[in-house]
């Protein structure tokens, strides 16, 4: 999907933007060694990056946008994707739920096998369990996931052929996971503010800017289309 969306586009990787300048005549994104000027700019910086203040805006964002960013919160979530020779879990189940006292590895996703026949199992680590998990070595992290699976399916499980882990918490381009709702916080209102273009040339996109579909891939995709249509008029 991403390859199709990026076709014929000039996509740059490994470029860290430090400042976004939005004025009446132009918009500019300044990186360490390069500056990009354009007629229009859509920022899909993650909520955690915006809250951290790693990006400077010139002029500064209006107070209502700053309040929305400060008012929203992001969650902690990591994934460990394991490739097995064949499934040892129920093949027709998209989600496997594990009940435990510590709440760790409570969700496993089997969303590849029903569609492609690939025996991938994705373990989710959530909330308070994330900080300790991301500090583990790959071997230690895999051992913990396998211990949880053996607790469910028995001791004689095969080892995964390959393992791929996320490290969103320590990635400077994400600095955490997707946005979350908190009790007593008007999250819908905050997201609705961020959904409105800052100017005729500059708008935000990303799952944290969708009032109805936050924390989802399709929500993020829809906000990018919304921002593009709004700026193009």
The domain segmentation of the chain, as residue ranges, is 2-74+178-232, 77-170
Mean pLDDT over 75-92 rounds to 94
Q: Please give the CATH topology (third level) of the domain spanning 77-170.
A: Polyamine Oxidase; Chain A, domain 2 (3.90.660)
Residues belonging to the chain: 233
The per-residue pLDDT of the chain, averaged, comes to 93
The answer, as to whether pTM is greater than 0.85, is: yes
CB 185 within 8 A of CB 70: no
Smallest CA-to-CA distance from 169 within 55, 50, 74, 82 is with 74
Q: Is the pLDDT of residue 97 over 80?
A: yes
pLDDT for position 98: 92
Q: Which two tokens stand for residue 184?
A: 């007593």
Is it true that 2-74+178-232 and 77-170 share their CATH fold? Answer: no
- 33 DSSP assignment: S
Q: Is the pLDDT of residue 100 over 90?
A: no
Distance (Å, whole) CA 166 – CA 178:
13
Question: Which region, left, alpha or beta, applies to residue 18 given φ > 0 means left and ψ of -120 to 50 means alpha?
Answer: alpha
**What homologous superfamily is domain 2-74+178-232 in, according to CATH?**
FAD/NAD(P)-binding domain (3.50.50.60)
């Amino acid at each position: 999907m991403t390859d199709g969306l990026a076709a014929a586009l000039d996509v740059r990787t490994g470029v860290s933007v430090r400042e976004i300048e939005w004025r009446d005549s132009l918009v500019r994104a300044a990186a360490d060694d390069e500056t990009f000027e354009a007629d229009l700019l859509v920022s899909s910086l993650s909520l955690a990056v915006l809250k951290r203040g790693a990006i400077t805006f010139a002029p500064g964002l209006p107070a209502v946008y700053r309040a929305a960013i400060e008012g929203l919160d992001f969650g902690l979530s990591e994934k460990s994707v394991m490739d097995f020779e064949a499934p040892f879990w129920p093949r027709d189940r998209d989600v496997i739920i594990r009940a435990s006292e510590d709440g760790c590895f409570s969700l496993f996703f089997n969303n590849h096998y029903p569609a492609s026949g690939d025996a991938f199992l994705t373990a989710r680590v959530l909330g308070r369990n994330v900080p300790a998990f991301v500090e583990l070595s790959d071997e230690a992290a895999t051992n913990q996931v396998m211990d949880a699976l053996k607790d469910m399916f028995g001791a004689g499980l095969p080892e995964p052929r390959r393992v791929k882990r996320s490290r969103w918490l320590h990635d400077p381009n994400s600095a955490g996971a997707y946005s979350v709702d908190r009790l007593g916080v008007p999250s819908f209102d905050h997201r609705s503010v961020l959904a409105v273009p800052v100017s005729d040339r500059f708008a935000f996109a990303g799952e944290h800017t969708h009032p109805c579909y936050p924390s989802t891939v399709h929500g993020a995709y829809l906000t990018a289309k919304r921002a593009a249509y709004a700026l193009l008029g």
